Amino acid sequence: MFMRSFVAFLISLFTCGIAYPQEFSPTLLHQPTLSPQNSGTTNGLIAVSPVNPRVVWASGRNGTFTVTTNGGETWNAGVVPGAEALQFRDVQAFSARVAYLMSIGNNPTDFRVYKTLDGGATWTIQFENQNPPGFYDGFAFWTPHRGILHGDSINGVFHDFRTLDGMTWHDISGNMPPALPGEGSFASSGTCVTTQGGRNAWIATGVAAIARVLATTDQGNTWNAYDTPLFSGPSAGAFTVDFRDPHNGIVGGGDLDAGDPNNARTAVSSDGGVTWTLTNPPPVTGAIFGLS
């Protein structure tokens, strides 16, 4: 599957896409000021998780993570023992001490979830994939103890897991809607799955004939699948999704095929993801990799 070789890049520790509500014009808003910071590592960084204006975690290649507790004035990087050959495609942090990492690699058991309770001094493996064709794209959390891990479909079934105690992960594949042939997700620095409030979550999919959004309003017990107007295909679909409240959200995607670069699009929903409307085309080619 194409996403196995997909690499998302973290740029200046900011979101790769900016969406403005209809009542605002970009020309009326202050443009962001970007300042280079020393991440403490030369390894490529892929995902970022801001906790507050002072505490931010990031993760990337060669088992690397880095964290700042002073708003980026200094960063402290490290490598998780035993993960030196892995990529951390997603990170979710809750404080200067508590964070989760999701890894991928070349072997089935390289798909793991790690957790630290001491700021990265030590890490515990909480989840390790045992399904040979399994591929995991990202995770998202409602609270420090409740979250969901999303995997591509295998034989028509999405392989997703959930934790309700912050320690153990349980298979909820039976709760997921049936997958379309070949349907999966793009890692997109972990932004293919998002949570909101205490019970809502959304997952962006592609690769199949239709790019869809999977949605739950009961913490993953039941799900619905909704079509989006984004282009979908073997290297295309919905890459990234986010919601600012239970109703209003945005999804973005496109096509990674260099021969078909003009499918980068975003769409918005005002009914919790049931229906989607294309926005004006964004001024980029390829695909939208990260939205917030």
Is 90 exceeded by the pLDDT of residue 246?
Answer: yes
In percent, the amount of the chain with pLDDT more than 90 equals: 88
Q: Coil, helix or strand for 190? A: helix
In percent, the amount of the chain with pLDDT more than 70 equals: 90
* Cα distances (angstroms) measured from residue 173 to each of 92, 100, 121, 158: 22, 21, 33, 6
Q: What is the pLDDT at residue 69?
A: 98
Average pLDDT of 161-176? 98
Using left for φ > 0, alpha for ψ between -120 and 50, and beta otherwise, residue 78 falls in: beta
Q: What is the pLDDT at residue 27?
A: 55
Q: Is the dihedral of CA 256, 262, 263, 268 positive or negative?
A: positive
Q: What is the pLDDT at residue 233?
A: 97
Nearest 5°: the CA angle 268, 272, 277 is 25
Q: What is the pLDDT at residue 2?
A: 40
pLDDT confidence tier of residue 292, bands split at 50, 70 and 90? confident
Total Cβ atoms within 10 A of residue 224:
14
Q: List, for residues 104-128, the tens digit of each pLDDT value.
A: 999 999 999 999 999 999 999 999 9
pLDDT confidence tier of residue 4, bands split at 50, 70 and 90? very low
Average pLDDT of 236-261? 97
As a whole number of angstroms, the distance between CA 204 and CA 250 comes to 10
Is 70 exceeded by the pLDDT of residue 8?
Answer: no
Average pLDDT of 136-163? 98
**Closest by alpha carbon to 109, among 83, 79, 81?**
83
The DSSP call for residue 260 is: S
Q: What is the pLDDT at residue 28?
A: 60
Lowest mean pLDDT among 28-42, 48-62, 140-154: 28-42
As a whole number of angstroms, the distance between CA 133 and CA 149 comes to 16
Q: Is the dihedral of CA 22, 25, 28, 31 positive or negative?
A: positive
pLDDT confidence tier of residue 220, bands split at 50, 70 and 90? very high
Average pLDDT, the chain: 92
**Residue environment code for 44-72, b if the CB has 16+ CB neighbours within 10 A, otherwise e:** ebbbbbebeeebbbbbbbbbbbbbbbeeb
Contact assessment for residue 108 and residue 130, using Cβ atoms and an 8 Å cutoff? yes
pLDDT confidence tier of residue 26, bands split at 50, 70 and 90? low
Q: Which residues pair with 77 in a beta bridge?
A: 66
* Cα distances (angstroms) measured from residue 60 to each of 138, 197, 285: 13, 27, 24
Is 90 exceeded by the pLDDT of residue 213?
Answer: yes
